[in-house]
């Protein structure tokens, strides 16, 4: 279906819902049933011609050569946040892997012709997000996208790049090494909804932007003129109920007209990384509350060690440091990251308690 002209994400999702997630049944359905499911006459005729003589081998060959795989709405790997987007893609082509922890994500976008100021701010924010365990989402474009991806990787964090072309092409060509690094070092993924062979057409990028925002709890516009496509990503974020952040810029600089305008319209002004982290914490909590809150398992023995101290009652940061034998600055840093992950809750000034849905037993059983 993804290869049939006239069957876009909305119609594909409608088929998925109508046929109760059974796309094989949709493929074999009679024409009248397909019309009832939402296909128009023209799309139906195109599909029926395609169904008579489908030649999928070249497509699968391209996917295999790109070391990619297909992920559908029914797959566990399909991102939780993107699943909530009404017009989200029913199918993704992915190089690399997307993990549940990537739900804690910030999108960073902006102009391809960034100033020195914009590039430095992007570097600082992406580095801070990586240190806090936040996945950085961007579009692999020149300028701010590139710096956001590179800085997250340099800080040991995860990053996901969303393309507006087929998974068998890496665009722009100068970022092939960056894309390869993201995948081969196991620190993220390259994602697209477009089938192999799709060129990077200008008309693809507005649709690509909704995936960038859909993968994220919030979108940061670092630097953007009024005509920037990054503002479309901000609008997509608003439509999806995501947070929108913006970096204030020089009021005489055309490069900052878009971001300054966003702030005037209500985007959260960002002066430091903590401004973003506080909002993401609240969004993360809301997300966990909306979902059928799954048990959260700590990632390391060090996290378990701290959680065991605060499992029964709130404990002050100083006492956690004393009982764990760890320096207070290390404990403070770990608590910030663990709070973002949903492992701990702040219940007073410098007081922490383990979140009720943490499963310590599962971690111990995995050892």
If one compares 364 and 40, the residue with the highest pLDDT of the two is 40
Same domain for 233 and 99: yes
Same domain for 342 and 212: no
CA nearest 158: which of 213, 216, 230? 216
- pLDDT at residue 99 greater than cutoff 90: yes
Mean pLDDT of 70-98: 92
pTM summary value:
0.74
CATH number, position 344: 1.10.10.10
If one compares 287 and 15, the residue with the highest pLDDT of the two is 15
Same domain for 165 and 259: yes
Same domain for 30 and 135: no
CATH number, position 42: 1.10.150
Question: Cα–Cα distances in Å, from 266 out to 11, 240, 253, 263?
Answer: 33, 16, 20, 5
- What DSSP line would sit under 28-59, residue for residue? T--HHHHHHTT--HHHHHHHHHHHHS---HHH
Lowest mean pLDDT among 14-23, 138-147, 213-222, 328-337: 14-23
Same domain for 132 and 218: yes
DSSP β-ladder status, 315-316 and 351-354: antiparallel
Residue 295: which pLDDT band, with cuts at 50, 70 and 90?
Answer: low
CATH number, position 100: 3.40.50.450
* Residue 2 structure tokens: 């993804």
End-of-domain residue from the set 285, 309, 344: 285
Name every residue whose Cβ is closer than 8 Å to that of residue 72 and which is 6 or more positions away in sequence. 23, 78, 90, 91, 92
Mean pLDDT of 111-128: 94
- pLDDT at residue 70 greater than cutoff 80: yes
Residue 70 lies in a domain: no
Quote the DSSP letter at residue 295.
P
Locus of tokens 């046929």: 19
Query: Residue 239: what pLDDT?
Result: 94
In 3-state terms, what secondary structure has residue 291? coil
Same domain for 200 and 347: no
Residue 66 lies in a domain: no
Query: Residue 282: what pLDDT?
Result: 58
Contact 21, 73 (CB under 8 A): yes
If one compares 54 and 29, the residue with the highest pLDDT of the two is 29
What percentage of the chain carries pLDDT values higher than 90?
56
Same domain for 281 and 355: no
If residue 160 lies in a helix (H) or strand (E), which one and from where to where?
strand 159-162
Residue 265: which pLDDT band, with cuts at 50, 70 and 90?
Answer: very high
Domain of residue 17 covers 1-54
- pLDDT at residue 355 greater than cutoff 90: no
Query: Residue 367: what pLDDT?
Result: 46
Same domain for 341 and 232: no
Q: What is the pLDDT of residues 242-258, one digit of tens each?
A: 999 999 999 999 999 99
Q: What is the pLDDT of residues 328-347, one digit of tens each?
A: 988 988 888 888 777 888 87
Same domain for 115 and 97: yes
Q: What is the mean pLDDT of the chain?
A: 88
- pLDDT at residue 366 greater than cutoff 60: no
- pLDDT at residue 361 greater than cutoff 50: yes
Structural domain total, the chain = 3
CA nearest 67: which of 184, 188, 226, 175? 184
Mean pLDDT of 177-185: 94
């Amino acid at each position: 279906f993804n290869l049939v002209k006239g069957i876009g994400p909305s119609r594909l999702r409608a088929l998925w819902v109508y046929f109760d997630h059974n796309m094989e049944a949709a493929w074999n359905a009679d024409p009248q049933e397909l019309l009832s499911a939402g296909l128009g006459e023209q799309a139906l005729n195109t599909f029926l011609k395609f169904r008579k003589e489908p030649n999928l081998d070249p497509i699968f060959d391209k996917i295999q050569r790109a070391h990619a795989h297909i992920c559908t709405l029914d797959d566990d790997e399909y991102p939780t946040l993107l699943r909530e987007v009404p017009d989200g893609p029913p199918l993704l082509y992915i190089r690399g892997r997307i993990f549940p922890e990537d739900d804690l994500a910030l999108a960073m976008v902006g102009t391809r012709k960034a100033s020195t100021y914009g590039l430095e701010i992007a570097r600082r924010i992406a580095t801070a997000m990586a240190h806090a365990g936040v996945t950085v989402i961007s579009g692999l474009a020149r300028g701010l996208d590139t710096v956001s991806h590179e800085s997250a990787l340099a800080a040991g964090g995860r990053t996901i790049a969303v393309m507006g072309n087929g998974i068998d092409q890496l665009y722009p060509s100068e970022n092939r090494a960056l894309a390869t690094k993201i995948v081969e070092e196991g620190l993220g993924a390259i994602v697209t909804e477009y089938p192999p062979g799709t060129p990077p057409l200008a008309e693809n990028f507005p649709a690509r932007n909704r995936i960038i925002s859909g993968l994220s709890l919030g979108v940061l516009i670092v630097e953007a003129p009024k005509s920037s496509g990054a503002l479309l990503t901000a609008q997509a974020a608003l439509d999806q109920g995501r947070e929108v952040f913006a970096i204030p810029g020089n009021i005489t600089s055309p490069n900052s007209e878009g971001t300054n305008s966003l702030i005037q319209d209500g985007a959260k002004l960002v002066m430091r990384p903590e401004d973003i982290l506080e909002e993401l914490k609240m969004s993360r909590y809301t997300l966990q509350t909306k979902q059928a809150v799954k048990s959260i398992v700590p990632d390391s023995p060090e996290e378990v060690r701290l959680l065991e101290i605060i499992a029964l009652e709130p404990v002050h940061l100083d006492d956690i440091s004393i009982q764990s034998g760890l320096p207070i600055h290390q404990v403070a840093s770990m608590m910030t990251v663990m709070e973002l992950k949903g492992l701990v809750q702040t219940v007073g000034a410098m007081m922490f308690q383990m979140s009720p849905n943490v499963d310590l037993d599962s971690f111990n059983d995995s050892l």
